[in-house]
Chains A and B, each alone.
Chain A
Amino acid sequence: MTYGEVIAVDRLDLEVAEGTVTAVLGPNGAGKTTTVETCEGYRRPQAGTVRVLGLDPRRERRRLGSRVGVMLQNGGSWSGVRAAEMLRHIAALHAHPLDVSLLIERLGLGSCGRTPYRRLSGGQQQRLGLAMAVVGRPELVFLDEPTAGLDPQARHNAWDLVRELRDGGVTVVLTTHYMDEVEHLADQVHVIDHGRLVASGSPATLAARGSENTIRLRARPGLDLAGLVRALPAGAHAQEVAPGSYVVSGKVDPQALATLTAWCAAEGLLPESLHVERRTLEDVFLDLTGRELRP
C-alpha cells in the first residue's frame, strides 16, 4: 500500500482469529491506520489480497457495513451534532442496535449527551467514537487507537468494554501505542514498523523474547568487580554503569543471583538496593523498532 513515493504498508501478512482481541502495535507512521483502513475498505492496496469475514472489503463493502464496526482515528461526526443524537443516528442504521441510553451511561457520556460534538473534550469525542463502533452490534470491530487521550478511568472502562465484547463473541482488532494496553487486553499482538511485520505472538511470548533480564544494584562507587565477574556463570557479566550503579546482565538466572549475593556476603557489602528487572513489552518494543524518534 503506497501513497505516492511512500510505502506505507509493505507485504504485511496477518490473520485474525474469530472471537479474539488482536492488537496492532507500532510507532507513529508505522502503517497501523493504513492497515486497518485497508481492511475497512477505505484504501485499495496496490498488491495483495485482503479478506474480511471472507469478503472483499472494497467490492463487498455494503455487505460488511452492517457486520463490521469502525472507530476512526479521529473525526467521523458532524460538528454541530449532539453526542447522543449522533449515536442514535448510527443505531438507527442497524437492525438490532444496543440500547443507546445504556451505552451512553456505560461510557460515562451521560452528562454530555446534549453537547454538540465540537464542544466535547478530546476524550469524550474518543468515547463517542468507540460507542459508534459497537452500537450496531457488529461481529468484528476495528478500533484505531481507541484509548488515545483517555484518562485512566476511561481507559479501564474502555478495556472492560473490549473484554466484554470479546466474551460476547465479537472479534476485536485495535491499534495502540500503549504496552500496558496490549498486556491487559490482547490475545495476539502484531508489531509493525515501516509497514512491515517485525514480530507476532501473544503478549507473554513477545515479552519473553530473548528473556534477557538484568539485576540492578546500588552500592558505594568503585567496587572491584573482578571476583564477581570470575564467579558468575558463563554468559552473565557485571559492570559499573555509573558511579555506584552496577548492572548484572546477560544470562541472568537464579544461579547468577545466588552468586551475586554470595559475593556481597564475602565482601561484607549490603547494597542500598537490588532489583531483578524482567524485560517488559516496552523494552521488546523499543528493541524491535529502535529508539529513534519517528517523523
Chain B
Amino acid sequence: MSTSLSPAPGSAPLTRMVTAQALMETRLLLRNGEQLLLAVVIPLLVLVAGRQAGSLLDIGAGRRIDVLTPGVLALAVMSTSFTSVAIATGFERRYGVLKRLGASPLPRSGLLAGKLAAVLLVEALQLAILCSVAAGLGWRPSGGISAVLGVLLLVLLGSAAFASLALLMAGALRAEATLAAANLVYLMLLVAGGIVVPLARYPESVSAHLELLPSGALGQGLRDVLSGSGPGLLHVVVLLAWTIIGTSLAVRTFRWE
C-alpha cells in the first residue's frame, strides 16, 4: 500500500458530499431509539387515543379523525425538525463532530443542507406511516391536489422554522441542557401549543397568540389545508418569520465547538 499513501487531495462534488451527509444523518436519526419514540410512537398514541377519548380531549366539531390527523402530522414534523435536530446537533457539538467536519471538504452550507435533507427524509417516512394508519382509522382528507401542495409547503416551512430554532438552541446551550430543553419544549407545545388541539378550542385571547407560534401556525395550517380551505397567508407568514428570526440569530450565536 506504500504507493497509494501518496497525496491525491480533492473534494468530492458538492452533491455527493451533501447526499453522503444526508444519508448519514438519516441513518443516525433512525438508529436512535428514544427519538423514534418521539417521532412515531407518541404521534400514533395521540392519534389512536385521541380518537377514542372523546370526553377527555375536546377537539370540536367535525369527524374526530379528520380534525386529529393534521395535528398529529404537525406533531411528527415538530418532533423531528425541532427535538431531534436540537438534540443531535447538541451532541455533535459536544463530541467534536462539527469540529471535525469543519476540517473536511464539506462546507457549512453543505452540512446544513445535509441536515435539512435528512430531516425531510425522516419526515417523509413518519408522514407515510401516520397517514396510512389514519386512513385505516377512517381519515378522509379533502382538498385534492391543492391540499397536497399546501401540506408540502407547510411541512417545508415548518421544518425550516423548527430546525432553525433547534440550531439556535443547540448552538448556545450545553448538550445536556439542550436535551432537557428540547424535550420540555416539545411537551409544552404538544399540550398547549395549538399543535393538536384546534385553535378554536382555546379561549379567544389565547388562540390569537398561539397562531403566532410555529406550532400553532403549522398545526392550524395543516388542519385548514386538509379540510379543503388552502393554507392561510397568516400561517405561511408566521412560519417564514420564525425561520428568518431563528436563522439570523443562530448564525450569530452558534458556537461550533
Given A93-B11, A93-B104, A137-B8, 16 other A-B residues pairs in contact with their CB atoms under 8 A: A40-B103, A66-B9, A66-B10, A67-B9, A70-B100, A75-B99, A77-B95, A79-B91, A94-B12, A96-B9, A98-B4, A137-B9, A138-B7, A139-B9, A165-B5, A168-B7
In the assembled complex, the CB of A252 is this many whole angstroms from the nearest CB of chain B, namely 42
Q: How far is the CA of A168 from the CA of B10 in the complex (A)?
A: 17
What is the predominant secondary structure among interface residues of chain A facing chain B? loop
Please report the C-alpha to C-alpha distance between residue A85 and residue B97 in the assembled complex, in whole angstroms. Answer: 14
The answer on a CB contact under 8 Å between A72 and B8 is no
Give the residue name and chain of the B residue nearest to A95 (CB): B10
Whether A169 is near chain B, meaning CB under 8 Å from some CB there, is yes
Partner of A93, one of B8, B12, B97, B257: B12
CB distance from B247 to the nearest CB of A (A): 21
Q: Which of A70, A79, A93 contacts B17 (CB 8 A)?
A: A93
Please name all residues of chain A whose beta carbon is closer than 8 Å to the beta carbon of B11 when the two chains form the complex. Answer: 65-66, 93-95
Which of chain B's residues have a CB closer than 8 A to the CB of A98? Answer: 4-5
Chain B residues in the interface with A (C-beta under 8 A): 1-12, 16-17, 20-21, 24, 27-28, 31-32, 91-92, 95-97, 99-100, 102-107, 257
Nearest-CB residue, chain A, relative to B106: A93
Provide the A75-107 mask, 1 if CB < 8 A to any CB of B, else 0.
Answer: 111111100010001101111101100100010
A-B contact count (CB 8 A): 122
Interface residues of A in 28-43 (CB under 8 A from B): 40-42
Q: Are A94 and B100 in contact (CB-based, < 8 A)?
A: no
Contact with B along A42-82 (1 / 0, CB 8 A): 10000000000000000001100111101010111111110
A-B contacts, 28 listed (Cβ < 8 Å): A42-B102, A65-B103, A65-B104, A66-B9, A67-B9, A70-B103, A72-B99, A75-B97, A78-B28, A78-B95, A78-B97, A85-B27, A89-B21, A93-B17, A93-B106, A94-B12, A94-B105, A98-B5, A106-B1, A136-B105, A137-B5, A138-B9, A139-B9, A164-B1, A168-B4, A168-B7, A169-B6, A170-B6
Is the C-beta of A134 less than 8 angstroms from some C-beta in chain B?
yes
In the complex, the answer to whether A167 meets B95 with C-beta atoms within 8 Å is no
Residue A132 at the B interface, CB < 8 A?
A: yes
Q: What residues on A are CB-neighbors of B21 within 8 Å? A: 89
Are A72 and B100 interface neighbours, CB within 8 A?
A: yes
- The answer for the CA separation of A65 and B106 in the assembled complex, in Å, is 8
